[in-house]
Amino acid sequence: MKISCYLLFLAACISCLPSHAQTITPKLFGPGIISGPVNDAAPAFTPDGKTVYFHRSGTSLGAVILVSHWQKDKWSTPGIAPFSGQWSDIEPAMSPDGSYMIFSSNRPTRPGGQPLNGYWNNQRFPGSGGNLWRVDLKGDGWGEPYRLPDIINSDSSIFSPAVAANGNLYFMKPVGDTGKFHIYCSPYRNGKFERAAPVPFSAADTISDVDAAVAPDESFMILCSRRPPAKKMELFIVFQKNGQWGTPQDLGDDLISSWCNEARLSPDHRTLYFASGYAPSVTYPSDPNTTKQQLLQSEWNTGASNIWFIPLDRWLSASSPLHPSPQQTK
């Protein structure tokens, strides 16, 4: 009797544990359509969630920004975005109102120039540099991309933009003797960008922080980092209150068994998307239905980067101003 009561008490205690202590199983985004056999990452949604831009890269492909539309209850076959396809274009980031997009590209800084070379982690990457470019929505289409000013593009390795509702621009760039990436913010005031500075928690040169995804009101940020206690590139969340950023908290090294990067938010900011080479493990004995699913997985489970998503509700307060009805993820 005492043992039974204890077990009931233990079960009740477990059910009351914080939700972040419970297991999350990431879901694949658009298997075989968005997430395929090569590297796919960085989904940027229009505000209605019906169109997504993302970048795809591979050995013979280079890198290009693709676009897909939600049609007839599925994502359409991706096509090349009208402003991409000539240079190595990656990491699209949509403005919260959907009126413009910022992306990183190795495009020359002047007409007729050479593609940018990159330099980080004490290594040179010929043709793989990046500056941030902006493209504006013009009616039903996109205009011509233009390079952001030098106050943003201060060197040839500027990547991973994120745009707040007030126009503040977050991005990553390598600094210091080690060339580790850190996250910077350039405030946007009176119609122009001000000099960028690293966010306070990303100032240590020995720690690599990358790929920030920022809530439109800047109340929180998701980033990827190797900071302790991370054993690999892992996902962290950090909150801002009264203009002060807190300390990043690891979402959990058991969240996913592989590295993570390219954090992105859904239009309602309640779902986190990220890229990873993760794939569900195979267990035996199997059965015909499971084997059929594994056969379908072989279309995308190649060890390349795919796009995964998880809900953020357990980390975000229900009283947060960013708490509309959760977006239906597909």
Q: Which amino acid is at 316?
A: L
Residue 236 lies in a domain: yes
| Residue 18 CB neighbour total at 10 angstroms | 8
Is residue 12 assigned to a domain?
no
What is the three-class DSSP state of 3? helix
Give the Cα separation of 327 and 330 in Å (integer). 9
More confident: 201 or 6: 201
**pLDDT tens, 15-49?**
333 344 456 788 999 988 998 888 899 999 999 99
pLDDT tier, 219 (very low <50, low <70, confident <90, very high otherwise):
very high
- Whole-angstrom distance, CA of residue 183 vs CA of residue 201: 9
State the pLDDT at residue 165: 96
Which pLDDT band holds residue 173 (cuts at 50, 70, 90)?
Answer: very high
The Cα-based distances of 87 to 51, 68, 116, 306 in angstroms read: 22, 20, 10, 22
Q: Which amino acid is at 27?
A: K
pLDDT of 78 > 60? The answer is yes
> What is the predicted pLDDT for the residue at 298?
61
What's the average model confidence in pLDDT over 189-199? 94
Average pLDDT over residues 115-141: 92
325 is a domain residue: no
| Residue matched to tokens 């013009």 | 138
Q: What's the pLDDT band for 74 if we cut at 50, 70, 90?
A: very high
Model pLDDT for residues 300-314, shown as the tens digit of each residue: 666 678 899 999 988
Three-state SS annotation for 227-260: CCCCCCCEEEEEEEECCEECCCEECCCCCCCCCC
What is the C-alpha to C-alpha distance for residues 156 and 185, in angstroms, rounded to an integer? 17
Asked if the structure places residue 2 within a domain, the reply is: no
Average pLDDT on 142-162 reads: 96
45: CATH: 2.120.10.30
Integer CA distances (angstroms), 200 to 181, 247, 279, in order: 14, 9, 34
50 CA to centre of own chain: 18
d(CA 8, CA 141): 60
What mean pLDDT, rounded, does the chain reach? 83
Task: Give me the pLDDT at residue 5, please.
Answer: 39
Q: Which has the closest alpha carbon to 308: 23, 25, 24, 28? A: 28
Percent of the chain with pLDDT over 70: 78
Q: What does the pLDDT read at residue 302?
A: 64
Query: How far, in Å, CA of 196 to CA of 203, rounded?
Result: 13
**Tokens (6 digits) for 291:** 């084997």
Please check whether residue 17 lies inside any domain of the structure.
no
Reference 98, options 146, 51, 158; nearest CA is 51
As a dihedral over the C-alpha atoms of residue 205, residue 133, residue 246, residue 267, rounded to 10 degrees, the angle is -140
The burial of 262, by beta-carbon neighbours within 10 Å (0-12 exposed, 13-18 middle, 19 or more buried), is given as buried
pLDDT at position 94, please?
97
**pTM attached to this predicted model:** 0.85
- Average pLDDT of 284-290? 67
3-class SS at 261? strand
Range of the domain at 278: 36-311
DSSP 166-222: T--EEEEEEETTTTEEEEEEE-EETTEEPPPEE-GGG--TTS-EEEEEE-TTSSEEE
Mean pLDDT, residues 177-202: 92
- C-alpha span between 61 and 121 (Å, rounded): 25
Query: What whole-number distance in Å separates Cα of residue 161 and Cα of residue 94?
Result: 9
When computed from its CA atoms, the radius of gyration of the chain, rounded to whole angstroms, is 21
Confidence (pLDDT) at 228: 84
Q: How many domains does the chain have?
A: 1
